[in-house]
Structure 1
Amino acid sequence: MKFSNYFNPIFIILILSTLLFAACAPAAPSAPTSDPETAKPAEAANVENAPASREAVKVKVVTLPFITFAPYYIALEEGYFAEQGLEVELVNMTRQEEILPALASGQVDVSSGLLSAAMLNTIGRGGNIMITSDKG
């Protein structure tokens, strides 16, 4: 094996990038300065002063007749939305074309589906629509 094989450009770039990533890594977290036994009474006081329950936030969610919307129904039946403080109403629609006007006018709060040119045009014209992520 030749000596020059160890120092070819790809090998050098690999070594330098590894060193760069190692140098840019965040520092290790420091050890806690307070005694855990001392912190427990303060945590207990915060739990006791917390309100017993919050008012549920009402959310209208669009569903279409496709199997990909099944997680909404499962979460509603299993009480996952209620655990998060959400009162979810599932609004059944039959066509994708019905969703955007209802969403832009505030008749529904949440929709999931394809990102389309119509949606981008609505946002561009000042429609109050926020894109986050799909139900994946």
Structure 2
Amino acid sequence: LKPHADRYERAREFAEVVTGLWNGKLDGASGSGHDGQSFSVRDPLDLPRSPQGAPVMVQAGASDVGRDLAAGTADVVFTAAQTFEEAKAFYDDLKGRLAAYGREPDDIKIMPGVAPVVAETEAEAREKYDELQALI
């Protein structure tokens, strides 16, 4: 398994390649293929363009390099913050990174993970929650 940062660099290259293919920028004939560290592409994508232009890019990393990848490439980011404060900090940090990639704050949507704990009473639900937290 490659080091953490290298995996994100490969993911960034992948996103650039598929985005270029979806947008018709890697057509091969004009010499606009891609020959990178992890991927080589010579021919155009032989598929009709999707109705929305390109598939939705979803990312789920919360590390520093993961957030940078999301800021540069993602349409949607999953997050699993445990508290409102963590969620707000993640939101503010990620939205703040977008300008460095020429993007606007509304160019990305953040989808917080939800893991409801259901029981007969609030006390029982809290007990279940504590049991689940102890397993992490």
Q: Shorter chain as normaliser: what TM range?
A: under 0.3
Q: What's the TM-score, normalizing by structure 1? A: 0.24
> Which structure exhibits the higher relative contact order, with contacts defined as CA atoms closer than 8 Å and separated by 6 or more residues?
1
Q: What's the TM-score, normalizing by structure 2? A: 0.24
Specify the structure having the higher radius of gyration (Cα): 1
